[in-house]
């Protein structure tokens, strides 16, 4: 043991000397805590990824289904999306809403089957193949072969299914991808056939020649609800043309149109039989025009002519008198092919209006519904279309009959047609008109109207049944059902279910050439009887060759060319997804209609509608009971989200930065779940993390830290809800009442599918928990009021946090799982709320007895008073950290005063006043209350009439005695009128105070007077709290936990010299006990440090223009200099050896060594026995000689 300072001990000494702050892992002399320690700043996205792995490891979703099997089913239909593109925010919103409701239903004790579905047919798929193979039209498909074309479609149907699954699961949605359904599956398609045959057998299917909206891009007609989905504002031609009369020279009839491309197909002109028409003479050339009287001024304004100066009115006649006038066609294309005795003449019909044009409408029956009807009525064409001129192909291009424009698309030919008319002197006016025009919802191209034969499902005759079934359903929000959807059903039209396409479910109709014999097939087995072979696929190229022998001697029946509208497929989803009625018959019939569906507002004319039509026709009941309809998700600027413009943040990136929970909660707490649009902003997602998740996490982290501290001092933490019931602390009862009120609210509102009310209440409780309960009980949970009170407060906070986690689990599945996995460690095995996952835990029952309105009222009053006190400080620009002498609460209501007195401790702490006194405003103690009246003019308007001005003037002159009487009696007579408390209210305020240090403030419920008189002792308390704050800040920056074994030191620093006289020196001395009470730890003077301590963190802070140095060191031996001197008889070398030998032990090992006996050190032949608590202590805090 003979080592000089240059040897081992010298080396040790040098290494032990104070140095810069270092990374330090303190020794903890405590039992294993219940809860795992937490990082100060979590990465929510990383935690979510870990949660996803955990769910996968325990097979969480399937396990939840196994646990709920046998329980009452909650049936949910998921509308199938296309997998030919990646999910966007609309899909994520839909998935989130569905996931929230289904998770909650599971937690309410239901068995919730959730199967994902894929829409595999239709134009989105064909469009990709057309682009890939440069398919220009029907002929290209037929040349290639429908079989090859359809197999190309099949090959890309599930192009993005893996990406869909990754994104859907990343956003926390639990749904079965492995047991999904696809609309191209044989089983799905067979059930579609069954649905259709049900309609066919009921006489609800027919074929008709109709003018329908037609997509030239898709070469197929569209149903009326598809047309309604996509109107756009466009600028179209607005022209007036003159048709030359055959019966009179230099005479013309004026007609107006916005579709010049239909003029080559003109067959008639239509007037209104009862409107007045003018026969006009043009003064500039002597020619004659016929035009509607009501539109004459408009025509003049278009051609810049004066109605009186430029025209002479020859005659005014009714429209009926013009019927029969013949005219020359504008174009010569069909002069040789039509029966001229029937065409190119004036007819009449009351559909003609005075709203636009010339009151004379050109008739092209192939391209207008009214045109078709009128021309059939006058025998110009036959009902089956005979005599109709339709010189365009399936792609909307002119055929050879119109040789001047052959091959031109009709919309592109408008300009050339107008030019020809102008050249030939037939164009009177050439303008434009901006109006809303329907576009193809798939190709975004303008639609045209075209007469074609098509297959329809009857809807118009069942409108009353549809409306009745709609009335049996429950929608959120209700206005979508009651107005938008109801109005659509009132005007419902027969549904064109046929599409002239290839990749889809073939319509199972086999017909004779004249369509007089029709056979409908409703199953694969039925078709196999005619086919004579096994049918493994129902797509066109597998069945189009099958024929059925005619029973009427018409040869063989062949399948019609068309496939089903894809909306028919999605509308049959409830039956087809279960292969009903061929399989799962009992299961389906017991579960129909569904408890719940959800989609966007656009589906009111899409999926919601087709579900309702088919279920009404087949079962005479709605397909669903409850429906959530949400709005559209738009870009931040309110425009439609565009991949091309990239005007929205990538969903995956939002997950990686903020986490899926943040996106979910942001959307669920937005107007979009009330069927209003959401302008998606990244800032909104960021705010959810900042304003909800981080504060929530911090409360959770505080609970874990304080529970760990409690366990270090008092043993195992065992949560006990009964402690809350027995607690006399009003804040415990208040937050418990708020929690049970929330449980009841969430159960009721979620059962009513009102997501938009739930999130606000959940986050409000989080705010109450953080800003009021934890804030006001922080010291109590730290043990300031003793072990028992600390345990009660911790049990209260734990109970609220645990229930909150369960309630919020459907909305934010990741963060709740994160918190639950740690919180549940405190629950004993077998506890109802203990499970492998929070999502296996049922929603708790609420305690009716805990819902105490008196407690709620008292705390609300306390909160209002505290907020008013804070406002008074802001008005005086005095920090909330500065204690005030006192405040006076003024209120004449004894119940109010009682409530505040019950919570006075919290009021004093939050307003930071030393004393609270109470007055009723009438005791004359320097405070008087002033009453101020306010008239309710809206309520008094009709009652007072012309006396209003006089009453207002009289009210302004009322004395305080008059107002006090009004307050007492709740009525007063003014100018002969009795005024009640509903018509006039009183506000209370404090009259001017004489003492400049007093500050009065009031609102409708509270009145306060705060005393801002300066006081030296209060200032010392202020500085003491600042010292406490800086020490705690240093601990936080050092990432210390309450049970870390450290010592803390502080000293003022003035001009770089420690220990100089200062206000801080005085505070550290005089308020030492106060500071240590707040810290719940000893704080030593920096001058007491002995030099061997390991510095963990050292900071210098500015406090009121002075500097304070705070040092935190690892807990290490603290030596008693006097006893060490006695032990070594003043031998410096022996003293040095003894101290440094003790310092070679870490604090844990030293503690064990001390329990075993003293420590002996041999130095230069002498033995020195050192005793704990005499020669040294295990840290400065245990050094009794410092007391």
Please state, in angstroms and rounded to a whole number, the distance separating the CA atoms of residues 430 and 441: 30
Q: Which residues of 130-140 are buried (b: 16+ CB within 10 A; e: fewer)?
A: beeeebeebee
Q: How many C-beta atoms surround the C-beta of residue 715 within 10 A?
A: 10
- Check residue 466 and report its DSSP letter: H
Please report where in the chains the tokens 């199972």 appear, as a residue: 508
In sequence order, the 6+-apart residues with CB closer than 8 A to the CB of 1082 are: 1047, 1048, 1076, 1180, 1181
The catalytic site residues sit at 80, 119, 567, 603, 607, 640, 643
DSSP string covering 205-259: EEEEEEEEEEETTTTEE--HHHHTT-EEEEEEEEEEEEEEBSSSTTEEEEEEES-
- DSSP H helix total and E strand total for the chain: 44, 43
Output the six-digit token pair for 180.
């999904």
Q: How many C-beta atoms surround the C-beta of residue 1034 within 10 A?
A: 21
Please state, in angstroms and rounded to a whole number, the distance separating the CA atoms of residues 396 and 399: 9
In sequence order, the 6+-apart residues with CB closer than 8 A to the CB of 663 are: 92, 96, 171, 651, 654, 655, 685
Rg (CA), the chain: 43
Please state, in angstroms and rounded to a whole number, the distance separating the CA atoms of residues 1099 and 1107: 10
Q: Quick one: the chain helix, strand, coil %, rounded to 5? A: 45, 20, 35
Please report where in the chains the tokens 């009941």 appear, as a residue: 621
* Bond from prior residue into 477 cis (ω within 30 degrees of 0): yes
Q: How many C-beta atoms surround the C-beta of residue 649 within 10 A?
A: 18
Asked if 704 contacts 781 with a C-beta cutoff of 8 angstroms, the reply is: no
Please state, in angstroms and rounded to a whole number, the distance separating the CA atoms of residues 145 and 562: 16
Pick from 136, 318, 330, 320: which is nearest to 252 by CA?
330
* Bond from prior residue into 593 cis (ω within 30 degrees of 0): yes
Assign 438 to helix, strand or coil.
strand
In degrees rounded to 5, what are phi and psi of residue 1160? -105, 135
CA angle 123, 129, 132 (to 5 degrees): 140
> Cα separations (Å) of 687 from 100, 663, 759?
21, 10, 15
Please state, in angstroms and rounded to a whole number, the distance separating the CA atoms of residues 1031 and 1098: 10
In the beta sheet, which residues pair with residue 316?
278
Please report where in the chains the tokens 């979508």 appear, as a residue: 480
CA angle 186, 191, 194 (to 5 degrees): 130
Scanning 424-561, the segments in alpha helix (DSSP H) are 463-471, 478-479, 486-490, 524-531, 540-543
In degrees rounded to 5, what are phi and psi of residue 1076? -70, -30
Per-residue HEC secondary structure of 1124-1187 comes to: HHHHHCCCHHHHHHHHHHHCCCCHHHHHHHHHHCCEEEEECCEEEEECECCCEECCHHHCHHHC
Output the six-digit token pair for 286.
């002597």
Pick from 150, 17, 26, 163: which is nearest to 81 by CA?
163
């Amino acid at each position: 043991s003979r080592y000089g300072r240059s040897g081992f001990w010298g080396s040790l000494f040098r290494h032990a000397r104070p140095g810069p702050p270092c990374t330090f892992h303190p020794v903890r002399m405590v039992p294993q805590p219940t809860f795992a320690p937490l990082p100060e700043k979590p990465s929510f996205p990383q935690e979510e990824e870990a949660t996803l792995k955990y769910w996968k490891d325990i097979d969480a979703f399937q396990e939840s289904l196994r646990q709920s099997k046998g329980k009452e089913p909650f049936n949910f239909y998921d509308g199938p999306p296309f997998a030919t593109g990646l999910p966007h925010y609309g899909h994520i919103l839909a998935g989130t809403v569905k996931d929230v409701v289904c998770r909650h239903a599971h937690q309410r004790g239901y068995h919730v089957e959730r199967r994902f579905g894929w829409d595999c047919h239709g134009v989105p798929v064909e469009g990709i193949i057309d682009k890939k193979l440069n398919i220009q039209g029907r002929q290209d498909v037929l040349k290639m072969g429908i079989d090859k074309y359809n197999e190309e479609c099949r090959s890309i149907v599930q192009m993005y299914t893996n990406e869909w699954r990754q994104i859907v699961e990343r956003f926390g949605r639990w749904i079965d991808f492995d047991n999904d359904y696809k609309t191209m599956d044989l089983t799905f398609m067979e059930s579609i056939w069954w649905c259709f045959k049900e309609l066919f057998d009921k006489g609800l299917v027919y074929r008709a020649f109709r003018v329908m909206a037609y997509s030239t891009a898709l070469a197929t007609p569209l149903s009326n609800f598809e047309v309604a989905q996509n109107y756009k504002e466009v600028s179209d031609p607005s022209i007036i043309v003159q048709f030359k009369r055959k019966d009179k020279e230099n005479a013309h009839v004026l007609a107006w149109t916005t579709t010049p491309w239909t003029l080559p197909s003109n067959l008639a002109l239509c007037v209104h039989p009862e409107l007045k028409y003018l026969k006009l003479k043009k003064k500039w050339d002597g020619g004659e025009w016929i035009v509607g009287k009501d539109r004459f001024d408009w025509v003049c304004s278009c051609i810049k002519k004066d109605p009186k100066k430029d025209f002479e009115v020859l005659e005014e006649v009714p429209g009926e008198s013009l019927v029969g006038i013949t005219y020359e066609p504008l174009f010569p294309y069909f002069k040789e092919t039509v029966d001229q005795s029937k065409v190119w003449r004036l007819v009449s019909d009351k559909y003609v209006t005075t709203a636009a044009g010339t009151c004379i409408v050109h008739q092209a029956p192939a391209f207008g519904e009214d045109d078709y009807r009128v021309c059939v009525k006058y025998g110009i064409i036959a009902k089956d279309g005979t005599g109709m001129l339709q010189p365009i192909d399936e792609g909307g291009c002119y055929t050879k009959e119109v040789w001047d424009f052959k091959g031109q698309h009709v919309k592109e030919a408008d300009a050339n047609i107008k030019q020809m008319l102008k050249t030939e002197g037939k164009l009177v006016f050439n303008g434009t008109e901006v109006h809303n025009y329907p576009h193809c919802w798939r190709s975004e191209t303008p639609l045209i109207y075209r007469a074609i034969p098509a297959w329809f499902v009857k809807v118009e005759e069942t409108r009353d049944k549809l409306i009745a079934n709609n009335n049996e359903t429950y929608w959120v929000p209700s206005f979508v059902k009651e107005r938008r959807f109801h109005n659509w059903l009132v005007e419902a039209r027969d549904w064109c279910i046929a599409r002239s396409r290839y990749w889809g479910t073939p319509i199972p109709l086999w017909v004779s050439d004249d369509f007089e014999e029709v056979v409908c097939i409703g199953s694969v087995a039925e078709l196999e009887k005619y086919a004579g072979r096994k049918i493994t696929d129902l797509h066109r190229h597998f069945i189009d060759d099958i024929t059925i022998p005619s029973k009427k001697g018409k040869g063989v029946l062949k399948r019609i060319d068309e496939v089903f509208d894809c909306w028919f497929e999605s509308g049959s989803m409830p039956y087809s997804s279960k292969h009903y009625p061929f399989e799962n018959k009992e299961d389906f019939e017991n579960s129909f209609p569904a408890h719940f569906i959800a989609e966007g507002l656009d589906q009111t004319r899409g999926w919601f509608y087709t579900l309702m039509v088919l279920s009404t026709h087949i079962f005479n009941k709605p397909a669903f009971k409850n429906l959530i309809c949400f709005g559209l998700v738009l870009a931040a600027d309110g425009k439609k989200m565009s991949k091309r413009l990239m005007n929205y943040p990538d969903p995956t990136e939002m997950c990686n930065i903020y986490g899926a929970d943040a996106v979910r909660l942001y959307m669920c707490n937005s107007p979009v779940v009330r069927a209003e649009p959401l302008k998606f902003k990244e800032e909104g997602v960021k705010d959810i993390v900042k304003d909800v998740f981080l504060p929530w996490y911090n409360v959770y982290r505080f609970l874990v830290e304080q529970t760990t501290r409690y366990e270090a001092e008092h043993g195992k933490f065992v949560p006990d809800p009964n402690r809350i019931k027995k607690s006399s602390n009003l804040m415990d009862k208040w937050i418990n009442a708020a929690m049970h009120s929330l449980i009841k609210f969430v159960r009721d509102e979620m059962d009513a599918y009102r997501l938009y009310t739930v999130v606000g209440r959940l986050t409000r409780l989080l705010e109450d928990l953080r800003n009021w309960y934890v804030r006001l009980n922080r010291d109590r949970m730290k043990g300031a009021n003793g072990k028992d009170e600390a345990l009660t407060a911790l049990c209260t906070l734990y109970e609220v946090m645990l229930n909150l986690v369960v309630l919020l689990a459907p909305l934010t599945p990741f963060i709740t799982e994160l918190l639950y996995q740690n919180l549940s460690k405190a629950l004993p095995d077998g506890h109802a709320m203990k499970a492998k996952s929070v999502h296996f835990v049922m929603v708790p029952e609420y305690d009716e007895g805990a819902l105490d309105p008196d407690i709620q009222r008292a705390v609300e009053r306390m909160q209002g008073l505290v907020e008013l006190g804070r406002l008074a400080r802001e008005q005086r620009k005095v920090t909330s950290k500065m204690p005030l002498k006192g405040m006076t609460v003024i209120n004449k209501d004894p119940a109010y005063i009682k409530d505040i007195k019950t919570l006075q401790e919290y009021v004093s702490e939050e307003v930071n006043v030393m004393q609270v006194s109470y007055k009723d405003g009438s005791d004359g103690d320097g405070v008087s209350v002033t009453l101020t009246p306010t008239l309710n003019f809206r309520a008094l308007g009709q009652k007072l009439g012309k006396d209003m001005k006089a009453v207002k003037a009289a009210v302004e002159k009322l004395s305080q005695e008059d107002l006090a009487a009004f307050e007492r009696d709740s009525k007063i007579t003014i100018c002969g009128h009795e005024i009640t408390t509903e018509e006039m209210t009183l506000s209370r305020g404090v009259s001017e105070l004489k003492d400049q240090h007093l500050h009065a403030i009031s609102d409708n419920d509270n009145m306060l007077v705060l005393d801002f008189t300066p006081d030296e002792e209060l200032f010392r308390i202020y500085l003491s709290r600042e010292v406490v704050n800086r020490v705690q800040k240093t601990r936080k920056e050092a990432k210390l936990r309450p049970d870390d074994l450290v010592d803390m030191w502080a000293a003022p620093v003035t001009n770089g010299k420690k220990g100089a006289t200062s206000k801080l020196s005085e505070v550290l001395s005089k308020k030492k006990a106060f500071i240590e009470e707040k810290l719940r730890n000893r704080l030593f003077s920096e001058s007491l440090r002995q030099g061997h301590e390991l510095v963990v963190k050292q900071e210098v802070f500015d406090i009121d223009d002075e500097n304070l140095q705070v040092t935190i060191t690892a807990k290490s031996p603290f030596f008693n200099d006097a006893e060490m001197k006695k032990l070594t008889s003043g031998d410096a070398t022996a003293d040095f050896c003894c101290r440094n030998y003790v310092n070679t032990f870490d604090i844990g090992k030293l503690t064990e060594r001390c329990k075993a006996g003293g420590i002996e050190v041999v130095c230069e032949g002498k033995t020195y026995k050192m005793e704990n608590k005499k020669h040294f202590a295990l840290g400065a805090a245990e050094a009794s000689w410092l007391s």
